[in-house]
Amino acid sequence: MNAPLDACWTAEQARRVFVTEALEGGDAIFLATHTPIRGFEVAGRDAGEIDGDDEHSILDALAKPERRHAFSVVQGEPGSGKSHLIRWLSVNWPVESDLKLLLRRADGSLEGALKQLKDHLPAEFQNLFENLGQRQRANLEGRANVFALTLAATLEPNHFDKPIGDEMWCTNFAPAELLSSPDVRRAWNGPSRILNLLEGAGGDRNSATASFNLFDIEGLANACDRLRPAAVSARAMDLVRRLQKEAETIQSHREQQWQAEELVAEAGEFLPTSLALIKALNARRNEAIRNVLGVSADSLKSLFRTVREALVARNQRLVLLLEDITSWEGLDDSLIDVLVDNAEAAGGDGEAKVCPLISVVGITPDFYDTKLPGNIRQRITHEIKLGHSQGGLQDVATMRDPGSRRTFIARYLAATRARLPSLEGWRETFRHAPETPPPNICPICPRQEHCFKVFGDEQGVGLFPFTAGALDRFFDALKENDNGQTWRTPRGVLQAILNVNLSQPEALEQSRFPVALIESKAIREDRRSDTVLSNRLERIVANRIADSDEQGRMRRMLAYWADPARADTTENDGELALAGAKRSVFEAFGLEWIGEDSASTGLDAPVQPPESTAPEDEKIDDEEVPPEKATRGPPPKPRSGPPIIPAKPKRLTANRTQLEQLQHELRTWSKGGTIENASTWNKYLFEVIQQVDPRRFGVTPYLFDKLVTPDMVKLQGSTMASRQYLVVGADPWVRDGFEAYLALRFDKSVSSEDASFHRRNLTVMMRRLEKATAAYIGSRIPKLEGGGPWSPASVVAQVLVARAWLRGAVSPKASVPEHMRAILSDEVEAASDPRARSMPWQEWLTATDKWHERLRSELRGMVSLSIGDGSGGAGLTDASEIAGAIQRMKDTGKPDEVPNDEGSLPHVLNAGRELSDLWREKRALIDRTESKQLRDRVGTLFTLLRQRSVDEHFARVDGAITKVSDLMHQAAPELVSNWKQAYQRVKSKLQDGAGQRLELFMVSLEDPDEGLPEKMAPRLGWMAKAPAKDLADILDLANLGEKVVQQLHQHANDCVREAAGTASLSEVHRVGSALKAAARRGSTGASS
């Protein structure tokens, strides 16, 4: 075992080297750590003058003696190297006669920038600064109040001599009234934020643009809550209402980590009033700032003109090297006017000549896009872009390639190890021999060979305490977008990687490295050591190391010096390595070796998640599974207030793989955080639950699929609704199982050891999901009164059986298979003449009319055999259950017991429960009413037939009616017509034998052997076979015939009475004889 390695530098050396501003520190350190700048893009009017791909070509183009003007812009994100390039130009500027002014960012304030300008100009120009600007004696709050009042004054429509262009908008909405309100000014922090930035933000400005944005408008809208409607005009209150409505959208996006400028692009069309107000405020910002600071734009222009007029007489050029234009906000428009002032275009009649001006200005992409007018961009002579835009932020050319990054870092590592006298001596040599390399003590270090073998080197400079892989992982872990700024810049590497790792060299000697300090705010949450380790690797750390501090140190080493997604012990360069980190690295840091004593066999083919669980009694023997921890953070609180438009979820990091993103979301959620992309996670949860075999807890696959649907399966925190969901909490076994599911599904290089570990965890998860699912289904299915289980399948079958009986589709005497065929087949026309039945019979059929098709579809699903889809013989189990229900129904006519409450069943199954209950309640009434109706109708028809057959009776009645109506055309013509029509309709039935069949039924009704059975089920079947419609139709026709004959008889009697005494005796005798004969024939027909 090798002893731990000590640091080969001191804390003071690290502090001296890792200054984060390019304009700090001495030239020796600056030049020793300088990395050639390559990969930049060149644009601008005179871009062709830069003939090369490094900083020397830029210097040659700008500094050539014959140049008379240059307005050059170095564009890049904060920390991208703008200041470094500008300082390098200053250090190497070749023309000694030029008056060169290098103005650094300093504290980021305008006053600081003016002070630097004063300090750098020769003494003869000091008097020009006497009245240029002086901060007011008020504190920040007081200055912010003056700033807001000045803004309010400038928002008045008639404030400026020359219109700005938005005067009509200011007239219509009166924003000046809002900013003039003391209540609003006290509550709104927008002006103080702008002032704080303009004054340097305590040295932390970092090139931030001091402009009003949508978040300031949200703050203004909230501040207006204190505004009394009577205090402002109706126009101003209309503005308040619009701003407050739009503030809801702004808030929802801000809470999802959207930046203000991103929100403009994403939802700007929904925020017209807020954007109009922003435009108005920013158009007046400089005017208001100058008033607060007492700075005159004209005085700044006059100062530079005076200096240039003096220098022209000395034949000198003015070289202005400005690190950051944002330091001049408030005067930036005036300063830009100075910078673009070409000496060649000046010196007209009556105007003094000025010296040439060569300017190089550092600006951010945001300033370039939003603050630099188009006409000014056209006057840029050389535009150097240090990066390429990606998703709103630029990358940095020198940081793109891992090799270039290592070269950059190696220079700083070498300078850190070198002593300051050595660096200063090299600087003097470098003046005369620029090819001399910076000092590097590695070649003379006695432990160089061992150090290089363990940690590696870059062009002869040892990477200790890093490795090449560690540097890549640290860089990948840096935030790409941290409140609108990226850490993947040279400054970010210095601050967030080198400085934090090298600032405590004693930690190496004391075996405390890597210290917690290395994980600064610049590190992405998903790459931190408490999150990024794979489940298996985390278990190894927890089980092999007892001390919590040592666990943290080990996690940090594995997170960056190893591959945290792996946990195998392999062989690397002839030695054992855990997760890719060699054992010698553990030893160099004084860490315990927690890998295995021998290497694993390597990688297997990708493994898919298992499709079934282990048996219930299978014991999972997993020595690496620690006791579960029950502690969890509180669930996230829901936001209140609906936005105008919903905010998109926090966007994913561009270079994060799908697996990494999902693992991060899972680990964040399992620690009590919110669940991002909830719909995706609920989908994965449903996929896992789908592998559960419902037969293991006594539920049919059909019912399982009905109750456990994609919409009803949720992870804790993924829904705020009050429905009865199957909710899975953030328990350790859930995280372990999901980690396993994701790895087996997405990690194509999973090793055999990892796959085995994941399978065990997934099996544990699925077994516990079985219990959770069983409890959920148990809560959804209502229980019988005695507490026993209830079978919806049986009830549905019995409801359909009852319907089939009443419709005559199947006889209760038929076999169970015949019943199943009947209730599973599509219905045809009913054979039982339902409309001719009693009202209870009809009402029950009507109640099932709108449900029978859906119930039949459900039943088909219950009994269908699903071969090859994982359900196996589940259909047979369902069929036997349904067969038993049919047999019980055949035996008693009574359905099985149903629960009193509906539970949380699907609507169609609950309808089956209610129809079953209705059958239980109405079946006796149906039997009683229908049997009585049949008996009553048969008895009535027997009386009317007068011992005749049906056919003979109707023939005699029709003959009597026909003869009388022929003699007496006026006798009840409508009734006669009705009879003729009704008889004609029934006659075809009679010809088809309906009369004979009805007679047989009437005779058998009271027969003890063939008549109505005693038991209910057979009785219903017997009644369903009765010719109910024929009985009803024939009875109706018999009643009609009886009525017609009676009416005709009455009419004839009336005619005889009316005819008495009005004719001769012979005529009366003739008519009377005819009526008597007709009456006799009618009576005879009626009596028959």
DSSP 814-836: S-HHHHHHHHHSPP-S-SS-GGG
The three-class DSSP label of residue 671 is coil
Query: Is residue 489, in this structure, part of any structural domain at all?
Result: no
Residues 714 and 730 in one domain: yes
Query: Is residue 545, in this structure, part of any structural domain at all?
Result: no
CA distance 565 to 754: 10
Among positive and negative, which fits the CA dihedral 739, 741, 746, 747?
Answer: positive
Domain stop point among 926, 954, 988? 926
Query: Is residue 256, in this structure, part of any structural domain at all?
Result: yes
Helices (H), 781-873: 792-807, 816-824, 839-849, 852-863
Angle 346-349-351 (CA atoms, 0-180°, nearest 5)? 55
Average pLDDT over residues 277-281: 95
Residues 921 and 808 in one domain: yes
Domain stop point among 277, 292, 307? 292
Query: What are 1060's two structure tokens?
Result: 């008495």
CA distances, 1015 to each of 260, 812, 816 (Å): 81, 11, 18
Q: Which residues pair with 69 in a beta bridge?
A: 357
CA distance 1088 to 1073: 22
Confidence label for 692 from pLDDT (cuts 50, 70 and 90): confident
The three-class DSSP label of residue 71 is strand
CA distance 629 to 730: 11
Q: Per the structure, how many domains does the chain have?
A: 5
The residue with greater pLDDT, 220 or 625, is: 220
Residues 671 and 809 in one domain: no
Residues 765 and 668 in one domain: yes
Average pLDDT over residues 723-730: 86
Q: What is the DSSP letter of 614?
A: P
88 pLDDT more than 80: yes
CA distance 187 to 189: 6
Residue 752's domain spans which residues? 658-780
Residues 951 and 1074 in one domain: yes
Query: pLDDT digits over 1022-1042, tens only?
Result: 999 999 999 999 999 999 999
User: Which span out of 65-74, 114-123, 718-727, 893-902 was modeled with the highest average pLDDT?
Assistant: 65-74
Least confident of 326-330, 505-509, 525-529, 1028-1032: 326-330
Residues 775 and 809 in one domain: no
User: Which span out of 105-109, 302-306, 844-848, 1053-1057 was modeled with the highest average pLDDT?
Assistant: 844-848
Residues 909 and 959 in one domain: no
CA distances, 1069 to each of 1060, 1062, 1076, 1080 (Å): 10, 12, 10, 16
642: number of Cβ within 10 Å = 10
Angle 534-536-540 (CA atoms, 0-180°, nearest 5)? 115
pLDDT of residue 617: 36
Query: Is residue 878, in this structure, part of any structural domain at all?
Result: yes
Residue found under tokens 């435009």? 279
Confidence label for 845 from pLDDT (cuts 50, 70 and 90): very high
CA distance 641 to 638: 10
Instruction: Encode 777-792: b = buried (16+ Cβ within 10 Å), e = exposed.
Output: beebbbeeeeeeebbb
Instruction: Encode 25-54: b = buried (16+ Cβ within 10 Å), e = exposed.
Output: bebbbbbbbbbebebbebebebeebbeeee
Task: Indicate the burial class of 434 (C-beta count within 10 angstroms; 0-12, 13-18, 19 or more).
Answer: exposed
pLDDT of residue 624: 39
Residues 1078 and 1003 in one domain: yes
348: number of Cβ within 10 Å = 8
Query: What are 931's two structure tokens?
Result: 């049997």
Residues 285 and 306 in one domain: no
145 pLDDT more than 60: yes
Query: Is residue 820, in this structure, part of any structural domain at all?
Result: yes
Yes or no: say if 232 and 226 are a contact pair by the CB < 8 Å rule. Answer: no
Least confident of 144-148, 459-463, 695-699, 800-804: 695-699
Query: Is residue 441, in this structure, part of any structural domain at all?
Result: no
Residue 320, domain CATH: 3.40.50.300
pLDDT of residue 1071: 47
Write the single-letter amino acid at 510. Answer: Q
With a pLDDT cut of 70, the percent of the chain lying above it is 85
Query: Is residue 634, in this structure, part of any structural domain at all?
Result: no
DSSP 217-241: HHHHHHHGGG--GGGS-HHHHHHHH
CA distance 1000 to 992: 15
pLDDT of residue 260: 86
pLDDT of residue 633: 36
pLDDT of residue 130: 67
Helices (H), 155-271: 167-173, 175-180, 182-187, 190-198, 214-223, 234-255, 260-267
Query: Is residue 29, in this structure, part of any structural domain at all?
Result: no
Query: What are 811's two structure tokens?
Result: 């006889």
The three-class DSSP label of residue 158 is coil
Specify whether the backbone of 947 is left (phi greater than 0), alpha (psi in -120 to 50) or beta.
left
Which residues, 6 or more positions from 641, have their beta carbon under 8 angstroms from its beta carbon? Answer: 248, 251
Domain stop point among 338, 367, 386? 386
Residues 358 and 316 in one domain: yes
Residues 853 and 754 in one domain: no
Q: What is the DSSP letter of 647?
A: P
Query: What are 345's two structure tokens?
Result: 């275009």
Angle 710-713-718 (CA atoms, 0-180°, nearest 5)? 110
Which residues, 6 or more positions from 420, have their beta carbon under 8 angstroms from its beta carbon? Answer: 13, 16, 28, 29
pLDDT of residue 285: 87
Yes or no: say if 348 and 314 are a contact pair by the CB < 8 Å rule. Answer: no
Residues 206 and 263 in one domain: yes
Task: Indicate the burial class of 246 (C-beta count within 10 angstroms; 0-12, 13-18, 19 or more).
Answer: buried
Query: pLDDT digits over 171-212, tens only?
Result: 999 999 999 999 999 999 999 988 887 776 544 545 566 789
C-alpha distance across the termini of the chain, in Å: 127
CA distance 173 to 810: 79
Phi, psi at residue 864, to the nearest 5°?
Answer: -70, 145
CA distance 61 to 43: 13
